[in-house]
Every structure is written in C-alpha cells, then in structure tokens.
Amino acid sequence: EEDKSLPAPVKIKLDDTSDKITLGNGNDVKGTRVRVFGRVHRERRQKEVMFLTLRDGYGYMQVVLTGPLSKTYDALTLTRETSMEILGELREVPAGAHAPNNRELHADYYKIHSHWKAAGGDDAITNRVSKDTEHATLLDLRHLTLRGETASKVMIVRDAVEFAFNQVYKELRFRKVSPPALVQTQVEGGGTLFKLNYYTEEAYLTQSSQLYLETCLPSMGDVYCIEKSFRAEKSLTRRHLSEYTHVEAELDFIDFNDLLDHLENVICRVLEVTLSNPVIKQYIMDLNPEFTAPERPFLRMKYEDAIKWLNEHEIVNEDGEAHKFGDDIAEAAERRMTDIINRPIFLTHFPAEIKAFYMQRDKEDPRVTESVDCLMPGVGEIVGGSMRMDQLDELMAAFGREGIDPTPYYWYWEQRKYGSSPHGGYGLGLERFLAWLCKQHTVRDCCLYPRYFGRCKP
Ligand code: 4AD
C-alpha cells in the first residue's frame, strides 16, 4: 500500500536532472520524492536488496528495493522488460558506487499491472536475444533488439542528426519539399528500379527525388528533402539497402566549387549541431570512442588522380588488374583508399560514361563531368552529387545516348525550355552517414527496420 503521509511525488522521466530535484544523502538531507515509469533493463539481487536498472527511452535509473518491497510475489518473479511504476526518494549513490546520473531511487512503493509483466522462463527476452543468438534470428527479432543499448543509441543519434539537417538547411534558407515516392521516371539507371502496377500503368518506387527538386528551384529558391529512396540492389553488401533515407538538396545559380563548399559546410555544421547536445555527444562517444570531427578543408581529389593513386598503391580493380581511366572504382578499392587516406575526400570529375545521364560536363575536359562523391573512412561513399546539364539540346542528346525515352521526362527537360540556370545538388545516404558517425559495421544497423535483398520483415 502506498503511504499517503509521504510528500506527494513529482512525476519525472528517468533522465530528469532539473532543479526541481534534490538528492538525499540517506541521513539528514531528504531527497525529492518522485514517480517514475519504465521497463526493467537489468536486475540483480543481493540478499535483502534488489537493484533494478529502469529504462524509459530517455535514460536509465538505478532503483533500490529493500525490506518487504524486495520480497513480494512481484519482486520474486520479476522478469526483464516488465513495466513498472515506482515511487520513492532520490538519493546520491554511496561513495565508490556508480549509477546513471550518480543517483538511485529508494523505492517506497511500486506497482506492476498484471499485463505489464514480461514473459519469463524459456520465453524470457534474455533467452530470445543473447550473444549466442543466430544472426538471422536477431534480424527477425529487430523489434526486441531495438531495446538494446547500442541499437537504441544509434536510433536516438539518428533522430538528432535528422533534426540537425533540418536546422542547418533552415539556417541556410533552404525550403523543404516532399516529392512523390511513386514515379514513372528513373534517375540512377534502370538496373535498380522497383517496378509496380499503378492501376493500369507501370510505375516505380523513386530512386532519388533529384529531378523533382530541380523543378522547385524557379519559384522556391534552394530546396531540400529528407525522403525515402528505393533501390533494387541485388547484392548483399554492408552499405546497400533497398529502402534508405536520402537527404537531398538542390542549389540554383551556383558553380561546381560553390557546390563543394556548400557540401563541406553542411556536413561540418550538421556535426557541430549534433554534438552540441551533450547527451547525443555522449552516445556518439560511447558508440565511436575515437570519433573526432573532420578537419577542413576536405581533401579534393580528381577521379583521374585517384586512378593514379590506386595504381601507385597497387590496389587493383575487380578483374584483378591495374585501374585505368574509365573504370568504375569498386566498393572495396574505394574503401581501402579512404581508409588509408583516413580523412573525408571529395572525389570529383568522374568520366561521363560511368555517371548518370543528367550530369554537366566539365568545360575544360569534356571527358569528365562536374560530379562529386564524398568518401568517409570506414564506409566509403556517403554522398553523390553533381552540376546538372542546363541546356535542352545537350540533355536531349544525353537521353538518346543512354537509350532513355524522353517522353515521360517532359516535366524535367521542360525546365530547360522555360528559363534554365546553372544548378546542382547532391544526395546523402543518412544510414551511411550514421554508419560513419556511430562506427557501425553496416547501414542495416542504422535504420529502424532494414530492407535489403531477401528481407522485408519485420
Ligand atoms: O550516388 P547516388 O545514386 O546519387 C543520387 O541518387 C543523386 N540523384 C542524388 C542527388 O544528386 N540528389 O546516391 C546518393 C547517395 C549515395 O552516396 C549513398 O550515400 C546513398 O545515396 N545510397 C544508398 N544508401 C543505402 N543503400 C543504397 N542502396 C544506396 N544507394 C545510394
């Protein structure tokens, strides 16, 4: 029974360290009496005392159950993940002991509704998700593994990073738009299109919102979006998803150097904003203890020089031969180069043949395009961008060369008919950015419920 003679409790989240809370010392100084809700993250028993770590998604709190409170039926049968309501006094942890926020809750009352109890025995979460669980099973149990410390930290950092992108684009006066996911045009090649029946017509899931962003420039100024993109990637790699979050921006009346400067600015400012939150910074340091914000300027390297660099370092192409101009730099070679150089690289001026149809040629060297990939150590490419062809005849010729029927693209090429402009933009894979920032082995661990070849559940 709750003791009604005690001070009325203050309802708080587990991370609340605001002024309204004082910590008792177990003697003369009384701490604030609080009411908290959460799930049992961990529990251990020491003779007459039970220590719980409670979790509510905002933080963790150590809870101490003593005397009769540690001997009730509910306490004796308590299972991990059970939800609890707990009332008690917040006190400093004894000298030499450690607990989140250096405090512990000395419970005087708790309540567990019967349906709040988590399964125990063979069905206990610790039996279903453990160090020995098969990898494939863990993926099927993503709804449970998300409760783990690493997964939840990555997801919380993700929320902060997405918020930071929005803030930084607002600082730069970009307008946010929301282009369609159901489309009838390709952007990055027919090989990775997800096709579907759209009533009586064929449609695709969008590969990129770029073409739509370009149509916003004339009336909205610089624009961005944070939307899903879809790619039917048929290989299993640690950086390819079928559905990913794409941060894309498009800038009007710029040249290629403006684009590179802007990109460097956005990446660095997003990191600054993200790290300015001490909790998020701590999560990033927990996940990636060696993290240091990248130094500016980023290394700028032309594709042609990268080919030379790869050959000087005897890094061969996928056929086991020396790289030559025109080769696609494959994932493995790209990552080795980035890891050796060990700082962000803007790889620029790719040959037109290996890049998308819409990319602007370099006036000085028409073999290559004004294109950029941003490469990060540990992951490789996290951004792809370029200046766009802004002349109608040139763009129509590019459609022809690529064997793309321009008819469904009328709304795209007509931009060049009604007041064209030098413009460019880029797309950043949010999961790849996070894999780099949070030092995750794969992008699959950087999204809520990953979708990739062979997996569409849970
Ligand atoms: O280089 P990509 O294909 O470029 C575009 O889609 C441009 N149309 C974007 C633009 O200019 N607005 O993709 C851009 C980024 C890549 O650098 C990568 O980070 C990410 O999107 N990406 C993927 N991330 C996860 N899984 C996949 N299958 C990805 N494909 C691309």
Q: Hey, which CATH number is domain 10-121, 1.10.3720.10, 1.10.357.10, 2.40.50.140, 3.20.20.70?
A: 2.40.50.140
Q: How far apart are CA 217 and CA 413, in angstroms?
A: 14
Cβ(425) – ligand 1 distance below 6 Å: yes
Encode pLDDT of 337-370 as tens digits.
Answer: 999 999 999 999 999 999 999 999 999 999 999 9
What would the two tokens of residue 337 be?
A: 């180069």
Cβ(431) – ligand 1 distance below 6 Å: yes
188: which residues sit within 8 A by CB, 6+ positions away?
Answer: 207, 208, 231, 356
Cβ(208) – ligand 1 distance below 6 Å: yes
CATH superfamily membership of 142-446: Bira Bifunctional Protein; Domain 2 (3.30.930.10)
Which of 29, 26, 95, 23 is closest to 61 using CA atoms? 23
Q: Are 62 and 104 in contact (CB under 8 A)?
A: yes
What angle is formed at CA 455 by the lines to CA 452 and CA 458, rounded to 5 degrees? 120
Cβ(424) – ligand 1 distance below 6 Å: no
In this predicted structure, what is the pLDDT of residue 302?
98
- Candidate of 187, 192, 208, 436 to mutate for ligand 1, largest count of ligand atoms within 8 Å of Cβ: 208
Cβ(334) – ligand 1 distance below 6 Å: no
In ligand 1, the atom with minimum distance to the C-alpha of 213 is 12
Which residue has the least CA distance to atom 16 on ligand 1? 383
Cβ(436) – ligand 1 distance below 6 Å: no
Which residue has the least CA distance to atom 20 on ligand 1? 429
Cβ(16) – ligand 1 distance below 6 Å: no
Q: How far apart are CA 373 and CA 359, in angstroms?
A: 13
Encode pLDDT of 55-83 as tens digits.
Answer: 999 999 999 999 999 999 999 999 999 99
Cβ(244) – ligand 1 distance below 6 Å: yes
Domain edges within the chain? 10-121, 142-446
Query: For residues 133-171, b (16+ Cβ closer than 10 Å) or e, as one string?
Result: eeeeeebeebebbebeeebebbbebbebbbebbbebbee
Domains 10-121 and 142-446 share a fold: no
What would the two tokens of residue 347 be?
A: 């790889």
Cβ(240) – ligand 1 distance below 6 Å: yes
Encode pLDDT of 283-314 as tens digits.
Answer: 999 999 999 999 999 999 999 999 999 999 99
pLDDT under 70: residue ranges of the chain:
none
- Candidate of 432, 447, 452 to mutate for ligand 1, largest count of ligand atoms within 8 Å of Cβ: 432
Residue type, 25: N
Cβ(283) – ligand 1 distance below 6 Å: no
Full DSSP string of 43-64: EEEETTEEEEEEE-SS-EEEEE
- Candidate of 246, 334, 451 to mutate for ligand 1, largest count of ligand atoms within 8 Å of Cβ: 246
What angle is formed at CA 36 by the lines to CA 32 and CA 39, rounded to 5 degrees? 145
Predicted-complex ipTM score: 0.99
In ligand 1, the atom with minimum distance to the C-alpha of 433 is 19
- Candidate of 186, 229, 238 to mutate for ligand 1, largest count of ligand atoms within 8 Å of Cβ: 229
In this predicted structure, what is the pLDDT of residue 48?
87
Residue type, 432: R
Q: How far apart are CA 23 and CA 33, in angstroms?
A: 9
Residue type, 30: K
Residue with tokens 């002024």: 19
Q: If you ran DSSP here, which 8-state letter would residue 71 be given? A: S
